[in-house]
Amino acid sequence: MKKIFSVCGVIFLISCGNHGRYHIRAQEEFNAMFSQTIQGVQDIYTFFPKTVKEVESYIDWAIESAIKDLDALLAIAPKDRTFSNTAQYFDDIGKRFSIVANTCELLPMVHPDTAMREACKKAAIKLGAFNVDAFMSKPLYKAFDDYQKGAGKHEHLSDEQRYYIIEMMNDFKREGLNLSDAKLEEVRVLKKKLQELTLAFEKNIDEDKSSILATKEQLAGLEEHFIATLKQDGAGNYIVTCDYPTYNQVKEHCSVEDTRMRLHRAFNNCAYPDNVQLLQEIIALRDTLAHELGFESFAALDLDSVMAKKPSIAHHFIVELARKAKKKAAHEVADFKKELPAGVTLDAQGRFKPWDMEYIKADYKKRHFNLDERNVAQYFEADNTLKEVFAIYQQFLSLSFTVTKPEWSWHDDVKLIEVREQDGNKLRGYIFLDLYPRDNKYSHACHGSVVHATWKDKQAGQINPSLAIVIANFPKATADRPALLMHHDVETFFHEFGHAMHSILGVTELDAFSGTATKRDFVEMPSQIFEEWMFDKDLLKGISRHYKTGEPLPDALIDSLINLKKFASGLFLTRQCILSLMSLDFYAAGKHKDTSALVEQLYRTYAPEIAYDASTHSQARFGHLTGYGAKYYGYSWSKVFALDLFKMIKKQGLTNPAAGKLFTDKVLGKGGSVDPNTLLHDYLGRAPRQDAFFQDLGIE
């Protein structure tokens, strides 16, 4: 269930530049602003702070307004409590507060101005501390309990409203509101400290500037146009940074082992040593927190609210996946060893060196699939590709998109999509696109919900539209050619835009359930379904167009891309299992963990064919360790469901509006308002199965 304020949530709010027309807003202006429904593009700008002073006025208003509203809620006599004046009112308070709180927490991910980033970080800490004290309090717990014992016994509620009461009462208990006052105060102190530490952990990753220097000769194998995008130092050396487009190019195509090795070590030591120390503190404090709340470990606390429920269930699931994946991985590495690329050697124990693996795989694809990803990218010019991707989403989901340059934005690269129903009449929401890398920007791909879609009048079909953002770091245009996307870049965009569609179409009665606010080990399921569109032959033919000739991908290349789905899938799934076990093991019982030793042990156990580089500390840049906590297994867990559902969708047609309506009505449109187990059974007409997952990866 969506919390009022999430330290590591997925709700983002963006700031635009100051154009001189904004001022520190008065209380009345804020009240009007956050009670309005988005009716057009101008409305979305009113939510955004533009200056440091506006950030400060935002948080002052958020706290003052929340105090006033919570006081009014708590003043209601127990006998007078109703769902409307207690549960619904609390949800409304949370909606307003979360917009401001998450703005200040996550604005630094996209904002280019240092002063704004720092102001928002300070504000996020202040708002987070207030959230701990005010939104999860004993008086609120009692108010809900009074309602449950009173009017809640006989008041007519919808299924969603009943589910909300159950989930809230469970959340209150997990927050420790059934503890003594002294114990509860200890819990609150722990949570406030953890908020500071996790924000610092994420900041260190986002602001890391790790790079290596390389001469032109040391970049052999890389294309000239790519090398031309790299900055140079005063001595003429190229500065090779650790952003994903650069890192992927070097590890796959640079023929100089020393360069691959140095960048591998720089990349996997990002935010080291600071984040290793912070992680140790986070693990210790989370373990203490779990014990204070009556759980044997933070993993047990973290999983109590999700589908798996227990760490033992998640652990067993991942170990079984790893067991099957290891068998296929062993065959894959045996094939690689038969024909190593020129200049690549095994270590003294006959193992691959970690900085060689992606280079080996890229070489193997060229030999056996006649496929060089850089050539494939020539068929995915960014603007045309996005236009075709949007066409698929619009047809399948019966929507209409209008893409524009926003009147205000935080960077020139940003675009804005207005989403309406297919006839163009009903506004469903807006999506900001920020797709290219720059300094101090969040370095991965992600989606964030800003304003959540809720029913204004369900019977009349009237909604409160939503606002979302999709962030990515795709290769940029160069002087001699436009931005070209790798196939996996397009797959990534399908995934993140799938989250955005979930956010737009997941219209619920309660804000807490809107869009992607479902169980954390289920939230990736809808987005992972949409990835599969990029492995359909007809759709690939329609999406692709060579940036020079205009020709679509040749059939042979399309067949190779589809066949590649099973290529090295054992190694891929093994790595996912290692990351999942890392997050589970870090947060298993015990305050003191040697995280470096645990990481090394996992790699040696599950990937013995690849030498482990003990000079690296990949956990320091593993941002999901704070955001997903012990729940990283959720990517594989939800992928099983995604492929099971996709099989059914494909039979109906990947651009069939009827299939899209069924998927929306039974899955996307429910947001988090239905337990995922119920939702899956309702859509499939049976219990979920793993067959499609293993078949897709070619794993027996």
Question: Residue holding tokens 């798996």?
Answer: 308
Q: Which of the residue ranges 476-480, 590-594, 616-620 would you say has the lowest mean pLDDT?
A: 476-480
Instruction: Please answer whether residues 556 and 370 qualify as being in contact, where contact means their C-beta atoms are separated by less than 8 angstroms.
Output: yes
* Residue-wise pLDDT tens digits, 379-396: 999 999 999 999 999 999
Query: For residue 1, what pLDDT is reported?
Result: 43
Where does the pLDDT of residue 282 fall: very low under 50, low under 70, confident under 90, or very high at 90 and above? very high
pLDDT at 109: 86
- The pLDDT assigned to 7 comes to 26
Q: pLDDT (tens digit, 9 = 90+) per residue, 396-447?
A: 999 999 999 999 888 999 999 999 999 888 999 999 999 999 888 888 899 9
What is the average per-residue pLDDT within 197-223? 94
* pLDDT band of 47, cuts 50, 70, 90: confident
Q: Which domains does the chain have, with CATH numbers?
A: 27-174 (1.20.1050.40), 209-267 (no CATH), 382-566+635-697 (1.10.1370.40)
**309 vs 622: CA distance, rounded Å:** 23
Percent of the chain with pLDDT over 70: 95
Mean pLDDT of 195-212: 92
In degrees and rounded to multiples of 5, residue 507 shows phi and psi of -85, 125
Residue 357 has pLDDT above 70, yes or no: yes
Q: Report how far apart the first and last C-alpha atoms of the chain are (Å, whole number).
A: 35
Residue 5 has pLDDT above 50, yes or no: no
What's the pLDDT score for residue 101? 79
pLDDT value at residue 454: 95
The 10s digit of each residue's pLDDT in 453-462 is: 999 999 999 9
Query: What tens digit of pLDDT does each residue of 522-535 get?
Result: 999 999 999 999 99
pLDDT band at 24, cuts 50/70/90? very low
Residue 4 clears pLDDT 80, i.e. is over it: no
Q: What is the mean pLDDT of the chain?
A: 92
Task: Give whichever of 99-108, 221-230, 310-319 has the largest mean pLDDT.
Answer: 310-319
* pLDDT-above-90 percentage for the chain: 81
Backbone torsion region of residue 55, taken as left when φ is above 0, otherwise alpha when ψ lies between -120 and 50, otherwise beta: alpha
Contacts with 671 (C-beta within 8 Å, 6 or more apart), sequence order = 453, 502, 506, 507, 508, 513, 514, 515, 516, 517, 518
| Burial class for 233, CB neighbours closer than 10 Å (0-12, 13-18, 19+) | exposed
Residues 298, 587: contact at Cβ < 8 Å?
yes
Interval 29-44 mean pLDDT: 80
Predicted pLDDT at 424: 85
Q: Is 517 exposed, middle or buried (0-12, 13-18, 19+ CB in 10 A)?
A: buried
How much helix, strand and coil, in percent to the nearest 5, is found in the chain?
55, 10, 35
Give the pLDDT score at 35: 72
pLDDT of residue 350: 95
